[in-house]
Amino acid sequence: MTPPVRKPLEPSEAHPITIEPTGTRVTVRIGGAVVAETDAALTLREADYPAVQYIPLSDVVAHLATSETRTFCPYKGHAGYYNVLTPDGDTVDDAAWTYAEPYPAVAAIAGHLAFYPDKADVGVGT
């Protein structure tokens, strides 16, 4: 089913969003196993939310299985989710998300995904 078309909300002084290169290695582990490692992460800061590391899809080493979960952010667009299959055979449901076609204000995160901090250990500078 095609998601409804919605007018994007633009970042503003009241709801700022910035995206910058992280500038250091980011390593993502699930259950101790490395599932992604990159020197090309982007840090997205949005309003008062904690900063989120967006990892290039090409730097994910774990097997990803598309999830049925979909969400919508009025600033970023429609998000799709992935289950992560770890090297030891575990599956972590909806561990990561991506915006395949993000709104123009956050276009830099296209081709990247982020991991939930309660499902993965996202280490910056590790």
Question: Using CA of residue 63, residue 68, residue 75, residue 29, what is the dihedral sign?
Answer: negative
Question: Which pTM does this prediction carry?
Answer: 0.92
Distance between CA atoms of residues 64 and 81, nearest Å: 9
Say how many residues make up the chain.
126
Rg (C-alpha) for the chain, rounded Å, is 14
Question: Which pLDDT score is estimated for 3?
Answer: 63
41 touches 26 (CB < 8 A)? yes
The token duo for 103 is: 């709104």
Q: Which residues of the chain have pLDDT under 50?
A: none
